[in-house]
Structure 1
Amino acid sequence: MADHTIQSPLLSPVDAETSFANKTPLFVSASKFALKFLIWVIFISWAALIFLFPAESVSDLFRKWIHATSGTPFGITGSIFMLLSGPILIIAFLAIVHLIISGEEELQEKKASKNPRLRLWTFPVLVNGPFGVVSATEFIGIVLFSVYILWAVYAYTMRSLSYVSEHQISFKFKSILMLKIMGLRFGSIGLFCLAFLFLPVSRGSVLLRLIDIPFEHATKYHVWLGHLTLAIFTLHGLFYVIGWAMDGRLVQEIIEWKDIGVANLAGVISLLAGLFMWVTSLPGVRTWNFELFFYTHQLYVVFVVFLALHVGDFIFTMAAGAIFLFMLDRFLRFCQSRRTVNVVSAKCLPCGTVELVLSKPPNLRYNALSFIFLQVRELSWLQWHPFSVSSSPLDGKYHLSVLIKVLGKWTEKLRDKIVDAEPLKDLSLQPRSAITASVEGPYGHEVPYHLMYENLVLVAGGIGLSPFLAILSDILHRLRDGKPCLPRNILVVWAVKNSKELPLLSSIDIEGICPFFSDKINLDIHIYVTREPVPPLEEGYNYKPVKSSLCPMPSDFGMSVLVGTGNNFWSGLYVISSTIGLVILVGLLHIFYINPYGVYQWWYKGLLFVACMVASIVIFGGLVVVLWHVWEKQNSAKEKDETKVDQFEQDDTLASKDSTEEKIAQSTIIRYGSRPDFTEIFALISEQWGAVDVGVLVCGPPTLQTTVAQEIRSHSVTRQRHHPIFHFNSHSFDL
Structure 2
Amino acid sequence: MAELSTNRPLLAEELQEKDYSGKTPLLPSLSKWVLKSLIWALFLTWAAAIFFYASEFVKDLQKKWINLTEGTVFGITGSIFLAFSAPILVVAFLAFIYVAAFSGDNFKKKNLKSLWFRLWTFPVLVDGPFGVVSAAEFFGILLFVIYVIWTITAYTLETSSLISKFPLPPKGKWYLMLELTGLRFGSIGLFCMIFLFLPVARGSILLRLIDIPFEHATRYHVWLGHLTMIIFTLHGLCYMISWSLQHRFKQEMLDWKDIGVANLPGVISLIAGLLMWVTSLHPVRKNYFELFFYTHQLYVIFVVFLALHVGDFIFSIAAGAIFLFILDRFVRFCQSRTKVDIVSAACRPCGTVELILSKPPNLRYNALSFIFLQVRELSWLQWHPFSVSSSPLDGKYHLSVLIKVLGTWTSKLRDIISNFTENPGKITASVEGPYGHESPYHLMYENLILVAGGIGVSPFLAILSDILHRISEGKPCLPKNILVVWAVKKSKELSLLSAVDFQMSWHSFSDKLHLDIQSYVTQESEPSLEEGKVDGSMKSPSIFITNGSSMSCLVGTGNNIWAGIYVVVSTLGFIILFGMVEVYYIQRFNIYAWWYRGLLFILCMVAGVVVFGGVVVFLWHKLENRSSSYEECPFDDEKSSGRRKEQTADNETTKTDLASFQTIQYGYRPDFRAIFDSFSEQIGRTDVGVIVCGPPSLQSSVARECRSQNLRGRRNNSVFHFNSHSFDL
TM-score between the two structures when normalised by the length of structure 1: 0.94
C-alpha contact (below 8 Å) 1:6/1:521 kept by paired residues: no
Q: Partner residue of 2:694?
A: 700
- Could you tell me how far apart the structure 1 residues matched to 2:146 and 2:122 are? 22
SS at structure 1 position matched to 2:50: helix
Does 2:457 align with 1:465? Answer: yes
Counterpart CA distance in 2 for 1:286 and 1:28 is 48
1:164 aligns with 163
Shift of 1:594: 1.2
Query: CA–CA distance in 1 between the matches of 2:403 and 2:445?
Result: 28
Tell me how far 1:18 sits from its aligned partner: 6.6
Q: Deviations over 1:626-674 (max 9, x none)?
A: 1101101211211157984543342533378774428x56632100000
Partner of 1:65: 65
State how 1:245-324 maps to structure 2 within 5 Å. 245-324=244-323
Q: For residues 310 and 249 of structure 1, what CA distance do their matches in structure 2 show?
A: 19
Per the alignment, residue 605 of structure 2 pairs with 613
Report the CA distance shift for 1:583/1:39 in structure 2 as closer, same or farther (over 3 A).
Answer: same
- Distance verdict in 2 for CA 1:117–1:25, change over 3 Å: closer
| Secondary structure of the structure 2 residue equivalent to 1:519 | coil
Task: Specify the SS of the correspondent of 1:615.
Answer: helix
Match of 1:678 among 657, 672, 675: 672
**Structure 1 residue 652 corresponds to structure 2 residue 671:** no
**Structure 1 residue 170: Cα displacement:** 1.1
Between the aligned partners of 2:636 and 2:525, the Cα distance in structure 1 is 53
Name the CA distance, whole Å, in 2 between partners of 1:624 and 1:548.
44
Deviation of the 1:14 alpha carbon: 6.6
Q: Evaluate the alpha carbon distance shift between residue 297 and residue 111 of structure 1 in structure 2; reply closer, same or farther with a 3 A threshold.
A: closer
**Which residue in the other structure is 2:187 paired with?**
188
1:632 and 2:616 correspond:
no
Equivalent position SS for 2:630: helix
Alignment correspondent of 2:216: 217
Query: Quick one: which amino acid aligns to residue 259 of structure 2?
Result: I
Contact in 2 for aligned 1:359/1:555 (Cα 8 Å): no
User: Does the 8 A contact of 2:208 with 2:438 survive in 1?
Assistant: yes
Letter in 2 for 1:423: E
Instruction: Name 2:725's counterpart in structure 1.
Output: 731
Compared CA separation, residues 227 and 111, structure 1 to 2 (3 A): closer
Q: C-alpha displacement at 1:551, in angstroms?
A: 11
Residues 1:642 and 1:26: Cα distance change in structure 2 (over 3 Å): farther
Aligned mates of 1:192, 1:17 — CA distance in 2: 47
In structure 2, relative to structure 1, the CA distance for the partners of 1:269 and 1:698 (3 Å cut) is same
| Equivalent in the alignment of 2:656 | 661
Closer, same or farther: CA 434–329 of 1 in aligned 2, 3 Å: same
Q: Does the residue aligned with 1:523 lie in a helix, a strand or coil? A: strand
C-alpha spacing 1:13/1:192, structure 2 compared with 1 (3 Å)? closer
- The partner residue of 2:491 within 499, 503, 522 is 499
* Residues 132-143 of structure 1 aligned to structure 2 (within 5 Å): 132-143=131-142
* Contact 2:344–2:545 under 8 Å retained in 1: no
Stretch moving more, 574-583 or 88-97: 574-583
Aligned residues: 725
Q: Say if 2:687 and 2:721, in contact at 8 Å, map to a contact too.
A: yes
Distance 1:628 1:509, change over 3 A: same
Q: Which amino acid aligns with 1:716?
A: N
Residue of structure 1 equivalent to 2:434: 442
Partner of 2:79: 79
Which residue number corresponds to residue 430 of structure 1?
A: none
Q: What is the alpha-carbon distance in structure 1 between the residues aligned to residue 20 and residue 64 of structure 2? A: 54
Corresponding letter in the other structure for 1:179:
L
Tell me what 2:88 maps to: 88
- Taking structure 1 as reference, are residues 629 and 23 closer, same or farther at Cα in structure 2, changes over 3 Å only? farther
Q: Alignment identity in percent? A: 62
CA contact (8 A) 1:480 1:513 kept: no
The 3-state SS of whatever aligns with 1:486 is coil
Taking the aligned partners of 1:709 and 1:370, their CA distance within structure 2 comes to 22
What displacement does 1:68 show? 1.9
- SS of the counterpart of 1:355? strand
- Aligned partners of 1:476 and 1:513 also within 8 Å: no
- The match for 1:198 is 197
Contact 1:528–1:670 (Cα < 8 Å) also in 2: yes
Q: Is the 8 A contact 1:360 1:398 kept in 2?
A: yes
Distance (Å, rounded) in 2 between the aligned partners of 1:273 and 1:111 = 45
2:39 maps to 1:39: yes
2:346, 2:540 within 8 Å by CA — same for their partners in 1?
Answer: no
Residues 642 and 200 of structure 1, relative CA distance in 2, 3 Å threshold: closer
Cα deviation, residue 55, structure 1: 1.3
- Structure 2 residue runs of 5 or longer lacking an equivalent are none
- 8 Å CA contact 1:116, 1:692 repeated in 2: no
Cα deviations across residues 91-118 of structure 1 (Å, max 9, x unaligned)?
Answer: 00110000110143432444776x9998
> For residue 101 of structure 1, what is the aligned residue in structure 2?
101
Q: 1:594 aligns with which of 562, 571, 586?
A: 586
Which amino acid in structure 2 is aligned with residue 87 of structure 1? P
CA deviation after TM superposition for structure 1 residue 552, in Å: 13
Letter in structure 2 aligned against 1:653: T
1:706 partner amino acid: S
Residue 515 of structure 1 contacts residue 656 of structure 1 at CA under 8 Å; is this kept in 2?
no
State the SS of the aligned residue for 1:597. coil
Deviation, 1:25, is 3.7
Offset from partner CA, 1:248-270 (integer Å, 9 cap, x none): 11000000001010110000000
CA distance in 2, matches of 1:42, 1:336: 32
SS of aligned partner of 2:426 = coil
Q: Partners of 1:117 and 1:637 in 2: how far apart?
A: 43
For 1:140 and 1:652, locate their aligned partners in 2 and report how far apart those are by CA, in whole Å. 55
Specify the code of the residue in structure 2 equivalent to 1:28.
Answer: P
1:540 aligns with 2:531: yes
SS where residue 119 of structure 1 aligns?
helix
Which residue in 2 is equivalent to 1:428? none
**SS of structure 2 residue aligned to 1:684:** helix
* AA matched with 1:733: F
Is the 1:365–1:567 contact (alpha carbons within 8 Å) kept by the matching residues of 2? no
CA distance in 2, matches of 1:116, 1:486: 21
- Name stretches of at least 5 consecutive residues in structure 1 with no aligned partner: 426-432
Q: Deviations over 1:333-378 (max 9, x none)?
A: 0000001000111110000000111000000111100000000000
